[in-house]
Homo-oligomer: A and B are copies of this chain.
Amino acid sequence: MNQFGQNFRLTVWGESHGAQIGVSMDGIRAGIPLSEEDFAEDLARRRSGAPGTTPRREPDLPQIVSGLYNGYTTGAPLTVEFANTNTRSQDYANLTRHYRPSHADLVAHHKFAGFNDPRGGGHFSARLTLGLVAAGVVAKKMLPTGVSFATRLTEIGGCTDPAGFDEVLRAAAADRDSVGGVVECRVQGIPLGLGEPFFDSAESMIAHLLFAVPAVKGVEFGSGFAGARLRGSENNDCFTDVGGTTVTNHAGGINGGITNGNEIVVRAALKPTPSIGREQMTYNLTTDKVEPLEIRGRHDVCVALRGAVVVEATVAIALANFIR
């Protein structure tokens, strides 16, 4: 369903080429200073335009339509909307029956009996992550003072050297292809005690949200998959004080599903954008044949670039949801 959270609860709606994308946030305490300008920085990080990102440009100006009064949150639902302006639905005319590989078009067609809005991916579009970024901005304001986020790409297309990223992107673009990436988000200043086992562990809630982000296919905390190759004596983090400070941080700041006061470390694997310009074979319902498809439209070479702030937003939201 399109709701997430208990204490900080999000509802999202909208389609890529519909009237608007919206998000309503409930559970925000009254009295937080907020303005539409506060969203600018994170929205800019998600915006396209840099090398490797889609040429579709949207101003993405947030409109706060409820829950704000005289510059402060009121405690009532805070709703933020974004108009969809720069849509080119005709680019998608051929895709409703000639299914893009690894896209949601086919499953959406079946699940919704053909009534889904196919334009630009409809409700499955990565454009929905606009709402997450907006909610992330609010979530950060709900977290204790002193919390800071550091988010970066640790890999693009298998390259782990940031100096090589541009070349990887250029080569893929030249081939009208795309590349995946790994985003790492580190959060400092989170107090010990967030997380509600058994089922709502800190990892569970963060991963739940992360896997809602289009393109995310893997999530790990701390040493993650690499930690599974270590011995206990290597992977264990020695506590050095009663507050829970550890020498190493293989746990990524979470023990038993509860934050332990150390830095939160989470990584998300984002697959290469499935929409690529080069020709691909895939099933065409009109001809009932597997035929070459050329995807028009404007797409990202690497969604992980714009996805970094989305990953950061989800982590902020999941953590804010634990605050009561």
A binding-site residues for B, Cβ under 8 Å: 1-4, 6-7, 9-15, 18-20, 22, 24, 26-27, 30-31, 63, 65-67, 69, 72-79, 99, 101-104, 106-108, 110-117, 122-124, 128, 155, 157-158, 172, 175, 177-182, 192-193, 196-201, 203-205, 207-212, 214, 216-225, 227-242, 244, 246, 250-252, 255-260, 269-276, 278, 280-283, 285, 288, 290, 304, 324
Name A238's contact: one of B4, B12, B239, B282 (CB within 8 Å). B282
For A4, give the chain B residue with the smallest CB separation. Answer: B199
Query: What are the residues of chain B within 8 A of A224 when measuring CB–CB?
Result: 217-218, 269
Query: What are the residues of chain B within 8 A of A199 when measuring CB–CB?
Result: 1-4, 10, 12, 208-209, 212
Copies of this chain present in the complex amount to 4
Contact A204 B208 (CB under 8 A): yes
Decide yes or no: A241 and B204 within 8 Å by CB, A111-B75, A225-B182, A236-B101 being known contacts.
Answer: no
Name A192's contact: one of B3, B66, B111 (CB within 8 Å). B111
Contact A225 B228 (CB under 8 A): no
Contact B218 A272 (CB under 8 A): no
Contact B239 A101 (CB under 8 A): yes
A31-B112, A124-B257, A232-B273 are known contacts; what are 13 more A-B pairs with Cβ within 8 Å?
A13-B77, A13-B79, A24-B24, A30-B112, A103-B256, A104-B255, A175-B231, A180-B231, A204-B211, A220-B269, A236-B276, A236-B280, A324-B324
- Give the complex CA separation of A15 and B278 in angstroms: 50
Contact B157 A115 (CB under 8 A): no
- Give the complex CA separation of A63 and B230 in angstroms: 38
Name A112's contact: one of B74, B108, B175, B272 (CB within 8 Å). B74
- Give the complex CA separation of A184 and B290 in angstroms: 31
